[in-house]
Structure 1
Amino acid sequence: MITDQLIQRINELARKQKSEGLTPEEKKEQKQLRQQYLKAIRGAVKDQLDRIQFVDDQDQS
Structure 2
Amino acid sequence: MAIHVELSSNNGAAFEDEPVSEMIRALYFAARKLEEGRIENFKVFDSNGNACGKVVFSHDD
TM-score w.r.t. the length of structure 1 is: 0.35
The structure that is helix-richer by fraction is 1
Higher relative contact order (CA 8 A, sep 6+): 2
The structure that is strand-richer by fraction is 2
TM-score w.r.t. the length of structure 2 is: 0.35
